[in-house]
Amino acid sequence: MTIDLSQFHQVFFEESFEGLGVMESGLLRMDPGAVDGEEINVLFRAAHSIKGGSATFGFNDIAAFTHVMESLLDEVREQRRQLTSRSLAVLLSSIDVLRAMLTAASGDGALDNALVARQQQELEAVLNNRESSPVIEHCAAPQANSAIDQVIGWHLVFRPLPNMMRTGNDPLRIIRELAGLGELDVKVDISLLPGFEQFDPEECHLCWDLHLHAAVEQARINEIFEWVEEQCDLVIVPLPGKDPASSTSNDQDVERDAETPRVSLVPAADSEAERHAGNERRRTDRRENERTASGAGSIRVDIQKIDNLINVVGELVITQSMLSMLGENFQMGQLERLKEGLSEMERHTHELQESVMQIRMLPISSIFSRFPRIVHDLSNQMEKKIELRLTGENTEVDKTVIEKIGDPLVHLVRNSLDHGIEAPAERIAAGKPETGTIELKACHQGGNIVIEIRDDGSGLDPERILRKAIEKGLVDSETQLSEQQSYELIFQAGFSTVETISDLSGRGVGLDVVRRNINELGGTVEIESKPGRGSAIIIRLPLTLAILDGQSVSVGDEIYIIPLLSIIESIQVKPDMVNLIAGRAETCKLRGEYLPVIRLYEILGVQGYRTGELTDGLLVVVEGEGRRCGILVDELIGQQQVVIKPLEVNYQRVDGISAATILGDGSVALILDVPGIMRLANATPELRVLQCSA
């Protein structure tokens, strides 16, 4: 019976992406010349697992690429070579390329074969202790499962490792087996032979360049080398089957470089600019691949969470059985027992909800793990010295939140790198250490997760921010803003203080999108800054997007839910707190601050409201997008957890409303989008006093 291995592909890809993460983290912790033995063993095992899995499932190009990485790590592990800065950089870049190969193999996106071949060239050059690998022009990268009629032969480069013959394997016997498949041209490279005094007859220092002129399946070639795949470097390239003239041309191209032992499939980048462009492309591909990996259709769950869930379900079944028996011959004397059973059912249902939500909770380290690499690459690019500190990586948050918060965090960290941390000379002149610090921290506070991005850089200059905002027409020249209000201007669309445009900043896009994305997650963003000492961006998010902690309020005959995360306090308005502006617009003076008042029934067109005067209702003080206001409602009903139902799926998008929920009596309540309500109020002429509350 043939087993369909494709059913295991998803698990293979997930484990491979995890292995790449382990390799990348380990390499970033290493210092050239001071390699920890256990750490390099972990890296080697990860590479070996990826290579073995890819070979098992038929991803031969991935297996071949990983094999070169594994060989390099193996030599470091056996202390036959030092880990240099160059080899570290090449291995990190190779991880990016391997991640792209795995993503393409999983069916998500196309693969840049030229990039793969160029990176394999770099790996082989490091492995051979050479500055660069030879170039064989116009050779296409090998394709897995090539049809037999697409090739007329195969070009192989076979480099045994020095200890191959000590394991009983003879390279010449392997070459004779290969010759049995068809006409074989053999060229040997002796450039790696040591001097006579260093020569060891039990070691192999030869490399063979082989041309097999036979249209055989690659699987037959793989069978010949399968016993020595751990003891050699092997490159197999199909010779395209166009016509005899084309084949001759390819052979001549190969012969031009017959004296060299290694093969490069495409030329290397000709300029430093091309190299930077390639690095940036790899970083972009990497972010896309990580989003794909984190968005996979399965998650790994701690067995303890599964056990807890099973226990809760067991208790729920027992209670349900008890209630069922009670209902068969119910008598009024059993009323107290019925109440107890319903109470137990409610408790077990709540525990079941908590257990199910815990299954979706993942450590935020799955996001934080990408930042050491980002800081490493960008600090080198900007010639800055930066230390990244990670705190609270094991803090758990809902899988959906993790998938959607990644990009905003990447932008904020890049912003700290580019705008916050000064160049080493500037820091020394300011009396600071030349190495700047960025701290990424996560923790739970109440029912929310708080993420902080702090740096000890130059901080924000409120006067400069206000000046730029006036220049760009974002605020009026007569506007007087507090320091905190000036900081909030950086989240305005089109705002930027950068004089020159670069790949990282200066185009006036970004932070407004970051805030909008976080608001869509039901979160908020705050800024703390001290000029010359550093800045902090503080993000507060709900732990899950499926359930919301909210305050239910009534306006007329309608019930609305205000997210607790947006609520500061609720107050009863007294007559001396009310102020009228421009005839109708109202404000409420609260502890020296004038808060704009939004009458919810006016914004949403609710009939039957009971609050003709501000003093007749309650004012819910809320905050959104850095602004505060008071929302006037008839009555506070109570706090409760509600299940979020997207409006777009069941109806359509409604301004000022983020979602809906179903209440206990079966009625539908709308969940307010606080920043959206503020925008609606600003669009109403008589309520534009809100513009001054930023």
Which tokens belong to 317?
A: 């079944």
CB 262 within 8 A of CB 133: yes
Whether residues 129 and 151 share a domain: the answer is no
Q: Position of tokens 């902090």? A: 536
Please report whether residue 518 resides in a domain. yes
Q: Is 263 helix (H, G, I), strand (E, B) or coil?
A: coil
Please report whether residue 326 resides in a domain. yes
| CATH classification at residue 637 | 2.40.50.180
Whether residues 229 and 165 share a domain: the answer is yes
DSSP 142-183: P-TT--GGGEEEEEEEEEE-TTGGGGT--HHHHHHHHHTTSE
Whether residues 587 and 644 share a domain: the answer is yes
CB 442 within 8 A of CB 393: yes
CB 161 within 8 A of CB 190: no
User: Tell me, what's the pLDDT at 139?
Assistant: 36
Whether residues 613 and 487 share a domain: the answer is no
Whether residues 143 and 228 share a domain: the answer is yes
User: Tell me, what's the pLDDT at 678?
Assistant: 87
Please report whether residue 279 resides in a domain. no
Q: Given 3-state DSSP classes, what are the helix, strand and coil percentages for the chain, each rounded to the nearest 5?
A: 45, 20, 30
Neighbours of 510 (CB within 10 A): 21
DSSP 271: S
Whether residues 314 and 414 share a domain: the answer is no
DSSP 333: G
Distant-in-sequence, close-in-space partners of 104: CB < 8 Å, separation ≥ 6: 110, 111
Q: Which helix (H) or strand (E) holds 437?
A: strand 435-445
CB 674 within 8 A of CB 562: yes
**Which among 235, 223, 227 has a CA at the least distance from the CA of 64?**
235
Buried b (16+ CB within 10 A) or exposed e, 451-466: bbbbbbbbbbbbeebb
User: Tell me, what's the pLDDT at 620?
Assistant: 93
CB 65 within 8 A of CB 101: yes
Measure the CA dihedral 486/490/496/499, to 10°: 50
Please report whether residue 484 resides in a domain. yes
| CATH classification at residue 497 | 3.30.565.10
CB 456 within 8 A of CB 478: no
Rounded distance between C-alpha atoms, residue 414 and residue 375, angstroms: 8
Which tokens belong to 200?
A: 């060891």
Please report whether residue 350 resides in a domain. yes
Rounded distance between C-alpha atoms, residue 598 and residue 585, angstroms: 9
| CATH classification at residue 167 | 3.30.70.260
The structural domain count of the chain equals: 5
Please report whether residue 291 resides in a domain. no
Rounded distance between C-alpha atoms, residue 422 and residue 625, angstroms: 28
Strands 668-672 and 558-563: parallel
Q: Position of tokens 């991803």? A: 59
Q: Is 89 helix (H, G, I), strand (E, B) or coil?
A: helix
Whether residues 504 and 613 share a domain: the answer is no
Strand segments, DSSP code E, in 151-289 are 151-160, 183-189, 207-213, 232-240
Please report whether residue 245 resides in a domain. yes
Which of 508, 542, 576 terminates a domain? The answer is 542
Rounded distance between C-alpha atoms, residue 500 and residue 580, angstroms: 45
In which residue ranges of the chain is pLDDT below 70?
1-5, 33, 130-150, 240-298, 446-447, 494, 496-510, 582-584, 683-694
Instruction: End-to-end CA distance of the chain: give it in Å, rounded.
Output: 70
Whether residues 537 and 402 share a domain: the answer is yes
DSSP 528-579: EEETTTEEEEEEEEES-SSEEEEEEEEETTEEEEEEGGGEEEEEEPPGGGEE
Please report whether residue 286 resides in a domain. no
Q: Is 199 exposed, middle or buried (0-12, 13-18, 19+ CB in 10 A)?
A: exposed
User: Tell me, what's the pLDDT at 108?
Assistant: 75
Name the H helices within 6-132. Answer: 9-29, 37-56, 60-77, 85-105, 113-127
Whether residues 516 and 405 share a domain: the answer is yes
| CATH classification at residue 104 | 1.20.120.160
Rounded distance between C-alpha atoms, residue 94 and residue 67, angstroms: 12
Which tokens belong to 540?
A: 């507060």
DSSP 338-371: HHHHHHHHHHHHHHHHHHHHHHTEEETHHHHTTH
Q: In which domain, by residue range, is 499 found? A: 363-542
Of how many residues is the chain composed? 694
Rounded distance between C-alpha atoms, residue 81 and residue 74, angstroms: 9
CB 229 within 8 A of CB 67: yes
Model pTM? 0.59
Whether residues 172 and 321 share a domain: the answer is no
Which of 525, 542, 559 terminates a domain? The answer is 542
DSSP 521: T
Name the H helices within 360-435. Answer: 365-368, 371-381, 399-415, 424-429
Which tokens belong to 136?
A: 């064989």
Rounded distance between C-alpha atoms, residue 336 and residue 340, angstroms: 6
Whether residues 125 and 24 share a domain: the answer is yes
User: Tell me, what's the pLDDT at 490?
Assistant: 84
Which of 359, 383, 400 terminates a domain? The answer is 359
| Interior angle at CA 626, CA 625 and CA 630, nearest 5 | 90
Distant-in-sequence, close-in-space partners of 314: CB < 8 Å, separation ≥ 6: none
Whether residues 61 and 185 share a domain: the answer is no
